[in-house]
């Protein structure tokens, strides 16, 4: 199997958390260099985005949530979904809320902040969405060591890159207090860097960020 990924890409990082936890034999490869990803990559990824998983039988799978479910089914030995259907629903809700209500608005805000003319109405709407999302995530976070208790779940795979982007995001928007209302979410960083799998992805993202910022400076 082959996973197209970049170290800093949050959506790719979700999948690397899962792949590393499962010790899945997946070769990690980069799409062609350049930002945005060059058009030639569309021959591999119909929407020209990463992550992309190419399975052993040659099936191309896109969308992080679909890749995650595939890996969960294909490598069941180290499960990331609980046995009980109620608990599985909670894990999935946490992962979806993190992606759609927190990560997605933050990623759009990163783009909007770099535009010369600011769309204040859209920015305010996205901040509101992010705050509601963070409030919901915060309510569900327990005392650890993982997001939903003693065992790592798919929720941790979504929360790790999402928590990572907030350090840079806080700086960009000039709001050092941004996570103060969400102390459990804020404290995820300490838990993540102590975990062998999640910290690997965290530091890959940190290295990727250093390279990205260096490239921005020299551009």
Ligand X SMILES: N[C@@H](CCC(=O)N[C@@H](CS)C(=O)NCC(=O)O)C(=O)O
What are the residues binding ligand X (CB under 6 A)?
A: 9-11, 36-37, 49-51, 63-64
If the CB atoms of residues 45 and 184 are measured against ligand X, the closer one turns out to be 45
If the CB atoms of residues 37 and 71 are measured against ligand X, the closer one turns out to be 37
**Cβ 44 to ligand X shortest distance, Å:** 12
Identify any residues that bridge with 3 across adjacent strands, giving them in sequence order. 28, 53
65 within 8 A of 139, measured Cβ to Cβ: no
Omega within 30 of 0 (cis) for the link into 51: yes
**Cβ 124 to ligand X shortest distance, Å:** 23
**Cβ 169 to ligand X shortest distance, Å:** 14
CA angle centred on 148, ends 144 and 149, rounded to 5°: 50
If the CB atoms of residues 65 and 184 are measured against ligand X, the closer one turns out to be 65
CA distance 170 to 167: 5
If the CB atoms of residues 111 and 177 are measured against ligand X, the closer one turns out to be 111
Identify any residues that bridge with 27 across adjacent strands, giving them in sequence order. 2
Q: Which two tokens stand for residue 147?
A: 């997001």
**Cβ 107 to ligand X shortest distance, Å:** 7
**Cβ 180 to ligand X shortest distance, Å:** 27
Does an H or E element contain 54, and which?
strand 52-54
If the CB atoms of residues 35 and 183 are measured against ligand X, the closer one turns out to be 35
99 within 8 A of 134, measured Cβ to Cβ: no
């Amino acid at each position: 199997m082959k996973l197209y990924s970049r170290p800093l890409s949050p959506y790719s990082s979700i999948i690397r958390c899962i792949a590393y936890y499962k010790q899945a034999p997946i070769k990690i490869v980069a799409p062609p260099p350049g930002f945005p990803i060059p058009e030639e990559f569309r021959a591999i990824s119909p929407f020209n985005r990463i992550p992309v998983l190419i399975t052993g039988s040659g099936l191309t799978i896109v969308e992080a949530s679909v890749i995650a479910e595939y890996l969960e089914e294909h490598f069941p030995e180290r499960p990331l979904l609980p046995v009980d259907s109620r608990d599985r629903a909670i894990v999935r809700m946490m992962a979806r809320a993190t992606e759609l209500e927190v990560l997605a608005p933050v990623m759009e805000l990163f783009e909007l902040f770099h535009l010369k003319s600011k769309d204040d109405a859209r920015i305010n709407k996205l901040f509101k969405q992010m705050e509601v999302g963070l409030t919901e995530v915060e309510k569900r976070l327990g005392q650890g060591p993982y997001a939903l208790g003693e065992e790592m779940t798919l929720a941790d795979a979504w929360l790790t890159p999402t928590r990572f982007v907030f350090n840079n995001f806080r700086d960009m928007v000039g709001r050092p207090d941004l996570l103060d209302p969400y102390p459990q979410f804020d404290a995820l960083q300490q838990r993540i860097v102590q975990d062998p799998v999640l910290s690997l992805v965290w530091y890959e993202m940190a290295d990727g960020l250093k390279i990205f910022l260096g490239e921005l400076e020299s551009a």
